[in-house]
Structure 1
Amino acid sequence: MPVSPEPMTSEPRPRALIVMGVSGSGKSTVGEALAQRLGWRYEDADAYHPKANVAKMSAGQPLTDDDRWPWLKAIAAEIDRVIAGGGHIVFGCSALKGAYRDVLVHGRDDIRIVFLDGSRELIGGRMAARKNHFMPAGLLDSQFATLERPGPDERPIIASIDAPVATIVDDIVGQLPTSTSD
C-alpha cells in the first residue's frame, strides 16, 4: 500500500514581529535593524508604558503583572491597528512571560515572537556599558528570574545575540516563513 505524503503546511509570512528578551539583549538595536531590512515600521514597547511604570522602573522597582496588563494590551491594540490597515510592524518588547506573549499574539498566526537569546554574562556586560537607559543593571537578575523561554507551541524564532547585529538580522530573516501570503 503506498504511503501518502505528509500534508504540506504553509505558514503565513508574519505581519508583525515581537522581538523579545531581557533588558540589554538588543531588542531595540536588532528590532530597528530588522524593521529596516524588511521595510517595516519599528516601535519600542517602552514608549507604550504609562509614566507610572517608567517611574517605578527608574526607581529600581520591578513591575508587577498588574502594572503590565494595560501596557501589553496597548501594544496588542497597536499591532492589530497596523495589520488591519495593511501594514507591518516590528515591536521591541521584553515579553518575558508566556502569559505576556499570549496577550500580544492573542491567537493570531500572523504575529511571531523573535527571542533574542544570550547569557547573563554577555547581557550584563552590555548593560554595564549602556548610558541613558531607565532600566538599571541591578534589575537584570530579576529579568532572568522572570524569563520564561518561549516554547515550541509559540513558534518562536530564536536568535543568538553573540554575533554582530547584521548577522543576527540575517539569522532572523532566514527563519521567517517564505510564504508570501499576507
Structure 2
Amino acid sequence: MRKEVNTHRIFYIMGVSGCGKSTIGRKLASTISLPFFDGDDYHPEENIAKMSEGLPLNDQDRKAWLEALNSLAHEHQQKGAVIACSALKKRYRDLLNDDILPPPVWVYLEGSYETILNRLQQRKGHFMPTALLKSQFETLEAPEEAIKVAVTLSPEEIVAEILKQLK
C-alpha cells in the first residue's frame, strides 16, 4: 500500500543565498499544487538596502521579516504553502514555526561554500552581493530535523528527493 503525502501544510525551503530556494520552492509548489512565496519579497526596504550595500543583517533586522513570514504561514496553514526563507539560525526557525499546526516541513538545501559562490557569481539582478555569502555560512546553524538535499542535484532531482523523503 502506498503512503500518501499530506501536502496541506507549510513547507519552508531554507539555506544560504544562492542555494536555489526560490527555484526549488516554485518547482515543489507547482508539483504539489500549493502557492509559493519568496521570503525575499517580504524584506523591509531597509533590509534590502543594507544587504545591497554589502552589510549583513543582524537579528534585530531580521525580526520583523521573520514575524511577517510566520504570519504568512498562519494565513496558509490550513491549505498549505511553500515558503522560501534562509532561516539560518535555529531561533529563526523556531519563530517561523511558532503556532503553526501541523508542524512545518523543513527542506534544507545543502551545498559547499565553493559551489554556492560559483552560483552567486553567475546570478544577475539580485540584491544579495557575493561578499555576504561568507557571513551567511558563518551564521548558518544547519537544522537537525529537516529534509536535507544536495544542491548539486538538478532541480527535478531535488524535488523528487524531497517527495521521496516525505513518504
What TM bracket, shorter-length normalisation?
A: over 0.9
CA contact (8 A) 2:151 2:158 kept: yes
Specify the alignment match of 1:141 in structure 2. 134
* Structure 1: gaps of 5 or more residues: 1-10
Deviations 1:46-75 (A, max 9, x none): 111111111101111101100101100010
CA contact (8 A) 1:105 1:112 kept: no
**Is 1:167 paired with 2:157?**
yes
DSSP-derived class of the 1:133 partner: coil
CA contact (8 A) 2:8 2:79 kept: no
Count of aligned positions: 162
Distance 1:107 1:21 in 2: 22
Give the TM-score taking structure 1 as reference length. 0.85
Distance 1:25 1:59 in 2: 21
CA contact (8 A) 1:12 1:110 kept: no
**Is 1:119 paired with 2:112?**
yes
Distance 1:63 1:164 in 2: 30
Per-residue deviation, 1:110: 2.9
Specify the alignment match of 2:33 in structure 1. 39
Counterpart code for 2:157: T
DSSP-derived class of the 2:11 partner: strand
Give the TM-score taking structure 2 as reference length. 0.92
Q: What RMSD, in angstroms, separates the aligned Cα atoms of the two structures?
A: 1.5
Distance 1:13 1:98 in 2: 24
Deviations 1:103-134 (A, max 9, x none): 00125443111100011111110000000000
